[in-house]
Amino acid sequence: MIVKEWCMYCGECAGVCPRNLIEVRETRLNFNEEECKDCKICIQVCPVQALEKRDD
């Protein structure tokens, strides 16, 4: 997952991830990419569109 520079670490993406894969630190997001099922719900809810799926 690409986290854009303007992410504000609000944690909304983490709250909706059905697999609990997003760790929100004060100024960093960590994704457990291996477990990610690519449902894109986290991308959908972000109030500032700060997430983008990385092209593999």
Least Å distance, CB 42 to another protein, is: 9
Interaction with ligand SF4 in 11-50: which residues (CB under 6 A)? 11-13, 17, 19, 21-22, 24, 29, 31, 36-42, 46, 48, 50
Exposure class string for 13-30: b at 16+ Cβ within 10 A, else e: bbeebeeebbebeeeebe
Among left, alpha and beta (phi > 0; psi -120 to 50; other), residue 50 is alpha
Least Å distance, CB 11 to another protein, is: 4
Query: Is residue 14 a contact point for another protein (CB under 8 A)?
Result: yes
